[in-house]
Amino acid sequence: MQAFARSNRCASSTLKAAVESNSWQRFGCGPLLEPQATLIHRAIEAQAIARPHAIAAEHQGRSITYRELNRQANRLAATLLEQGVMADDHVALFVERSIPMLVGMLAVLKIGAAYIPQHVGVTPAAQLRHILAVANVRVVLTLAKLAPALPLTTAQKCIALDAFISADSVAADERNIGSAASSPDSVCFVLFTSGTTGQPNGVRVTQRNVCNILLTAPGNLGMRPGLKVGQILNIAFDMSAWEVLGCLAHGATLLIRGKDIAQTAERCDVLIATPSILATLDPARCTQLKVVALAGEPCPQPLADRWSAFCTFYNACGPTETTIVNTMQHYRGVGPLTIGKPTPNNTVYVLDEAGQLCAPGEPGEMWAGGDCVTAGYLGNPELTAERYQPDPFLGHGRTMFRTRDLARWTADGELEHLGRVDDQVKVRGFRVELDSVSAALESTPNCERAVTLKLDSRHLVAFVYPPTTDIDVARSRCAERLAYYCVPSLILAVEAIPLTSRGKVDKRLLLEWAVAHQAQDACAEQSVTA
């Protein structure tokens, strides 16, 4: 494998040449659009100038205007510079959801540094310690109540954002800091994802990456002044940047949730979520919603049908390494539910095992190219070289990323998601795609959600929701649609599908439930035999 060469310049001319010279680009190339800004904080600053008294964010009865958000961020940016933070440095943002959190994000961006968001109380202390070391962090932004519990060294400076804001006695400063500190290639934030070695990997997301998805349609989700956007996701999750930066860059009002997600969702015009989170909400109580965007997991068809009936509904896909999402479908409640087409200035290649392009209808692995491709992993050149490769289709030093998602092009040029390479398992010597089994189970009347997992080398286990789902009918649906070895040996109807802190299915906990159920059945059998 060739080493990763970082190059992220002048995408539109390269993409244009590719469109003109390669027929495959009629499917694989997103439209060419120019983002309205090249630095995401400049778009936020423009909102502060255009509508200074508009409410930028609300949280637990408190609010902040765009003017005040920008002013406080300028103050903090000046303080960070005094503390020796420079462009391209890393600043830890170890917080809880709050208005001060927004001030910290914006201030770091203003000086050309990158923030590293983590939700204290959710992220284990050992992981925070690992992040601080790998990112060479010298300044940590947090909240006063959280500071004593942080695993800091004597070399690390801690600033309590809420205390900093409360201590403000300076007249308003309308200047914008760091006019020359950032470029489109500057890293905007670093998101730590679960790693295969047990330690999280830090994905370096650039200004160009962020502006490309948030400041073009459909990624902008129609956000605009006067609309309310929910902030319900874990701030360490890449989709939270869609909520926060997307909202603020378009002059909307960010509703930062407390403990009750539903209470916030019911007040929103725009909601970004995982399918697992959306499935916990009642559509009848969310009548104000105008736009819903889902990503992070496969979306069940019944869920898409239910919500697309009354609002603009997007089903999207993309790992952190391709900047939030790089494909989107506007699903209108008719036709197949897919993950759509490449977003603007991006490309998608469906390749076979030899690295050759697959024809429409042929399954293969998705590789992503264009402006979505991030700047690699922090401090891990070996993994970067493995997953980020020179793009032979765009050329000109461009890079493509191996997503590990399986897909095929439909006849009308949309991508049908076929699961993860990691979700292809061997059962009784046969290859099984777990998502296909779940989709068959979800065709059962009244079944809203199904999750299928490999229990051991010979057995699959599936979980269906709601608990009233007819398990016999569900098993029959699998037997009708799939090979015999794809039919789960155990199907459990559950009261709820458990979620991780990032709003995805907690597969580890589900497997523990399955093992416990087996043990309970074994004990019952022994009792009967005795």
Residue 175 and residue 286: Cα distance in Å, rounded?
40
Q: Measuring CA to CA, how many Å separate 477 from each of 437, 466, 495? A: 10, 17, 21
Give me the chain's average pLDDT, please: 90
Compute how many other C-beta atoms are within 10 angstroms of the C-beta atom of residue 53: 8
The percentage of the chain sitting over the pLDDT mark of 70, rounded to a whole number, equals: 91
Alpha carbon of residue 68 to chain centroid: 28
Pick 428-529's CATH classification: 3.30.420.40, 3.30.300.30, 3.30.2350.10, 3.40.47.10: 3.30.300.30
- Could you tell me the pLDDT band of residue 26, with boundaries at 50, 70 and 90? confident
Are 58 and 86 a contacting pair, CB within 8 Å?
A: no
Cβ atoms of 504 and 296 closer than 8 Å:
yes
**How confident is the model over 112-133, as a mean pLDDT?**
94
Element (H, E) at 522: helix 507-529
Per-residue pLDDT tens digits for 248-260: 999 999 999 999 9
Can you tell me the mean pLDDT for 42-54?
A: 98
Higher pLDDT, 522 or 77: 77
Asked whether the predicted pLDDT for residue 454 surpasses 60, the reply is yes
- Between CA 77 and CA 68 the distance in angstroms is 14
3-state secondary structure of 316: strand
Q: Which two tokens stand for residue 251?
A: 């002059």
Please write the tens of the pLDDT for every residue from 60-112: 999 999 999 999 999 999 999 999 999 999 999 999 999 999 999 999 999 99
Please give the full DSSP string across 163-227, using - where no structure is assigned.
HHHHT--SPP----S-TTT--TTSEEEEEEE--TTSSPEEEEEEHHHHHHHHSSTTTTTT--TT-
Q: Would you kindly state where each structural domain of the chain is located, as residue ranges? A: 40-317, 428-529
Distance CA 159, CA 140 (A): 6
| Fold classified for 40-317 | Rossmann fold (3.40.50)
Helical spans, DSSP H, in 381-470? 381-387, 434-441
Q: What are 475's two structure tokens?
A: 């098993």
Q: What is the reported pLDDT for 171?
A: 52
Question: Which residues are CB-contacts of 120 (< 8 A; sequence separation ≥ 6)?
Answer: 94, 95, 96, 128, 142, 143, 146, 149, 150
- The string of pLDDT tens digits covering residues 188-232 is 999 998 654 457 899 999 999 999 999 999 999 999 999 999 999
484's CB contacts (< 8 A; 6+ apart) are: none
> How many CB atoms are closer than 10 A to CB 200?
18
Does 3 score more than 50 pLDDT? Answer: no
Please check the confidence at residue 5 and state whether its pLDDT lies above 80: no
Written as six digits, the tokens of 17 are 């040449």
Q: Does residue 425 or residue 280 have the better pLDDT?
A: 280
Band of residue 175 on the pLDDT scale cut at 50, 70, 90: low
pLDDT tier at 23 (50, 70, 90 boundaries)? very low
- State the Cα–Cα distance between residues 294 and 454, nearest whole angstrom: 25
Could you report the per-residue pLDDT of 297-310, keeping only the tens digit for each? 999 999 999 999 99
Residue 292 neighbours by CB distance under 10 Å = 27
pTM of the shown model:
0.85
